[in-house]
Amino acid sequence: MAEVTWGLTTSHVPSIGAAMDRERTEDPYWKPLFDGYRPAREWMAEHTPDVIILIYNDHANAIPLAMVPTFAVGTAAGFHVADEGWGTRPVPDVIGHPALAAHLVESLVDDEFDITVAHQLEVDHGLTVPLSVYCPAPGDAWPAPVIPIVVNVIQYPQPTAARCYALGKALGRAIRSYPEDLKVAVFGTGGMSHQLAGERAGLINEEFDRMFLAKIQDDPQSLADLSREEYVREAGSEGIEMIMWLIMRGAMDDEITRIAETYHVPASNTAAALALFENRA
């Protein structure tokens, strides 16, 4: 039987990937952020999963705004890295796990979630930056196969935080019902508070961010109870990405152990954070 062994929440700011690609992680601007990643990276390097399920949002690079699925699961054997206008990042393409992905789709649909099935999918920085945060030097291949789960957080109406948390719980059930013995890591990505346009461009709400970081471990239901309007008001129009962290949290056990955490402001006008959790079992 498959099991969720650990979960990672991390920002997926594109400039974080660019700093790694251009070997600027020791620059004064970036060094504090990457120093904060170090304890989590060391722990994750010693706990390689068999499969990663990575929850992220596409940024209109692979999925056009003409048709935006609320939730989509990538079921392909592989996923090319998308060209976001400056060429593709110098990172490996992503290997999938079609058997587990197909099982997740069936289980989630049976659990009354209407899932879009992506038999072909390119992946942008929303997915590749978290993989680089996890493994900064992958060589020719990432350490484990990846199943992408795409969430609409860019076009109204986004799913509610409560729906994302419920999807996470259904995802956890789906993983545990898979008959093969697999160790699965679940990544929830995006955020923290930031707004890229409009009168509040540059907004960062450290008080809200730190509240979210604290409560996602022991009181995720209070975060699921917040409306999308509350997320946008407190965390900015792009800060609503944090609802994807709740999918990761829902997939894990009720009681989890915090392994590492870091919070940094700013990373390209964004509050950037990482939190790493292990299932207590």
Residues noted as catalytic: 125, 194
User: How many whole angstroms separate alpha carbon 276 and alpha carbon 186?
Assistant: 10
Q: Contact at 8 Å (CB) between 179 and 1?
A: yes
Helix (H) or strand (E) holding 58: none
**In one letter, which amino acid is 112?**
E
Helices (H), the chain: 14-21, 31-45, 98-110, 125-134, 161-176, 206-218, 220-224, 228-235, 243-251
Angle between helices 125-134 and 31-45 (to 10 degrees): 70
